Amino acid sequence: MSGAEAPVLASVRNRIGHLCLNRPSGLNTLTLPMVRLLLQHLHAWEQDPEVLAVVLRGNGEKAFCAGGDIRMLYDSYTSGGNQHELFLEEEYALDQYLHGYPKPVLALLDGFVLGGGMGLAQAASLRVVSERAKLGMPEVGIGFFPDVGGSYFLPRLPGQLGFYLGLTGLQVGAADALYAGLADHCLASERLVEFDQALDSLSWSGSPLQCLQQLLEAMAYGELPSSELKVLRQAIDDYFALPDLAAIRAALLSENRPELLAWAQNCVRVLDSRSPLAMAVTLELLQRGRNLPLADCFAQELHLDYQWFERGDLIEGIRALIIDKDKAPRWNPPTLAELDPQRVQAFFSGFRCAASNPLRHA
């Protein structure tokens, strides 16, 4: 494999380690070899005093990273393998490591930033979106739950925004990402090359983080379109603070204000298309994650993973979306009304804190 064909491209320029996810035809979705390569370079650069900061990006204009390789998860589980568990263990270890990385990590988020891409992005010190960015945690749409640290960063967004995004799986653009606290700066896509050139000539006159922040402030957008989430914020906070999904759905159905009616009706349509089990587990996961430290959030997600392939809706979701492509998943159960709350609680039974259940590092 030549350097240009490697799934992760790595270089050091002007004391900055550059990592580029290099599967543009697959929207830079993560594989286990990619996770291991990222960890390898990050470990080396952590020990290298010549490297002051890291920049993480995806190749191409379509995606920073559209998630993990879900086809591999399906193939591994259905063939009796263990690659699906290894991938999740090592992906979470990478994300957790990035959250505490001792050098600034700047994530350039151009195009889709979904699922596993959000796990990388939200662990970065500086999250820079372009106007083409689409951020989201769409897991409930394939019968899964927000993982890769989503149980930590989603419930810590302002108000109930994280619960809204996690339970619906909807994507947001640059203005909404900035408003929700999922991004720090917006940089026009046509200035990305110029930004790279500026990085190559950056003089390290202060702390590395301060130098990067100053450069971004000088180049970032002055104004963006107004945030839709800001307009909807009060309604989102009111409805998605309700204690269970049935109450949220009923309240949305009762909305009759003209300015909110279309949004509420669309919310109900979206919720009704998702896996009831995945949504209910997501709500419980985010409620618990709001009060857990980062390491315990990752450990709890992994605790659910070990049960989910056999007892959750993910395999059926991947079948409907990727394998058979009929887009008609047969959720179990098919409706919220048929979901036994004890089934949801059973997934969390026996969870041990991270100290006694550490994530595996490659």
pLDDT per position as a tens digit, 336-362: 999 999 999 999 999 977 554 445 443
Give the relative orientation of helices 83-99 and 70-78 as an angle to the nearest 10 degrees.
140
3-state secondary structure of 68: strand
Which pLDDT score is estimated for 225?
A: 80
33 is written with which tokens? 């070899």
Which pLDDT score is estimated for 271?
A: 98
User: To which H or E segment does residue 10 belong?
Assistant: strand 8-13
Which pLDDT score is estimated for 362?
A: 35
Closest CA to 119 of 59, 47, 54, 68: 68
Strand partners, 21: 8, 58
Classify each residue of 133-155 as buried b or exposed e, where b means 16 or more C-beta atoms within 10 Å of its C-beta: bbbbbbbbbbbbbbbbbbbbbbb
Residue 348 burial (CB < 10 Å; 0-12/13-18/19+)? middle
Cβ–Cβ < 8 Å for 227, 176: yes
Which pLDDT score is estimated for 224?
A: 79
Rounded CA gap, 334 and 345, in Å? 18
Q: What is the residue-averaged pLDDT of the chain?
A: 95
Rounded CA gap, 239 and 217, in Å? 36
Q: Tally helices (H) and strands (E) across the chain.
A: 16, 10
Classify each residue of 102-122 as buried b or exposed e, where b means 16 or more C-beta atoms within 10 Å of its C-beta: ebbbbbbbbbbbbbbbbbbbb
Closest CA to 55 of 94, 100, 28, 15: 15
Taking residue 171's Cβ as centre, other Cβ atoms within 10 Å add up to 17
pTM for this model (two decimals): 0.95
Closest CA to 32 of 9, 63, 7: 7
pLDDT tens, position by position, 262-293:
999 999 999 999 999 999 999 999 999 999 99
Instruction: List the domain boundaries for the chain.
Output: 1-362
Strand partners, 10: 19
Rounded CA gap, 26 and 30, in Å? 9
Confidence bin at 5 (pLDDT 50/70/90): confident
Q: Does domain 1-362 have CATH number 3.90.226.10?
A: yes
Which pLDDT score is estimated for 277?
A: 98
Strand partners, 108: 128
Cβ–Cβ < 8 Å for 55, 106: yes
Rounded CA gap, 334 and 276, in Å? 7
Rounded CA gap, 208 and 38, in Å? 21
Taking residue 46's Cβ as centre, other Cβ atoms within 10 Å add up to 14
Which pLDDT score is estimated for 360?
A: 45
* φ and ψ at residue 243, rounded to 5 degrees: -75, -20
pLDDT tens, position by position, 131-156:
999 999 999 999 999 999 999 999 99
Rounded CA gap, 106 and 20, in Å? 12
The yes-or-no verdict on residue 114 having pLDDT over 90 is yes
Rounded CA gap, 56 and 42, in Å? 11
